[in-house]
A = this chain, B = another copy of it.
């Protein structure tokens, strides 16, 4: 028999997954087998910066290039000057609970792609993801998905689970590639969203991105949007950072098996080694019996 988790090393994490999937398949009705995954840092690489941030920065730099008045304003200033330090600080502040600069960044992100249709945005995101490369790993961005997580998604699917992406990243950024990379269809992608509006025309109308956020799918918003979309409490959740704590917490039952996975980035040789923005989640993993997945020890291959 083929090993369904061939890119995982033997060990407690692999064992916990195989045992959980076998038990759930025997005892839980198929419709209740809902599994949710954070994307950045859980399903694919998020360092040195989230892939979507690279996409956005290129667009902001283009805008600053075209309009000098933007070059003194954040986040265009950072994009124009390739000041990744400012961006790293914003993300660190966010995970520490201070969203002042996240709002500045968010306003820029929203403005960067306002007033285009969802089809235009999708074509732009899809083109970027299919052509751009990771700055240091020597891989195209679509090759930055973690092979062990792709194995896990396939194993769950083969056992009647429905997989969803519940990411802080943009829903409409991931949709063009979610089926191809993860085997997750478009309707399975939950993520942050901007406000949309429908404008009628003679050819069926268009849905256009508005210059305002709808919601940031992070922290306590993750359980809300998982519930909103699926109508269920998941039986499996996987994350890697403080923004995933509530989603992992929400994945808990009294009457059926459940599994919470926390991916630990501890492999400087093959990927990156960091705990920044994950400190609280790691504490919770220890106190709440979440299964920590060590990239270094548990993964035979990473990409």
Contacts and interface: CB of A to CB of B under 8 A. Distances in A.
Interface in A224-264: 224, 227-233, 246, 249-254
B175 A196 contact: no
A196 B228 contact: yes
A197 B220 contact: yes
Interface stretch (A108-116, A124-132, A146-154, A202-210): A202-210
Given A204-B233, A229-B187, A224 B198 contact: yes
A153 B221 CA distance: 33
Contacts of A231: 175, 186-187, 189
A205 B31 contact: no
Interface residues of A, number: 38
Given A186-B232, A231-B175, A231-B186, A251 B196 contact: no
Given A198-B220, A207-B223, A223-B207, A187 B253 contact: no
Interface in A162-179: 162, 171, 175, 179
Contacts of A228: 171, 193, 196
A198 B186 contact: no
A185 B31 contact: yes
B200 A246 contact: yes
Nearest to A252: B204
A254 B203 contact: yes
Contacts of A175: 231
Nearest to A178: B231
Nearest to A247: B198
B31 A204 contact: no
A237 to B, nearest CB: 11
Nearest to A230: B187
A118 interface: yes
A227 B252 CA distance: 30
Contact of A204 (B185, B200, B249): B249
Given A187-B229, A231-B175, A231-B189, A224 B204 contact: no
A261 to B, nearest CB: 16
Contacts of A203: 252, 254
B205 A246 contact: yes
A175 B193 CA distance: 23
Contacts of A229: 187, 229
A235 B192 CA distance: 26
A123 B224 CA distance: 18
Given A186-B232, A231-B189, A253 B196 contact: no
A296 to B, nearest CB: 30
Nearest to A227: B207
Given A223-B207, A224-B207, A200 B249 contact: yes
A190 to B, nearest CB: 10
A232 B75 CA distance: 32
A233 B119 CA distance: 11
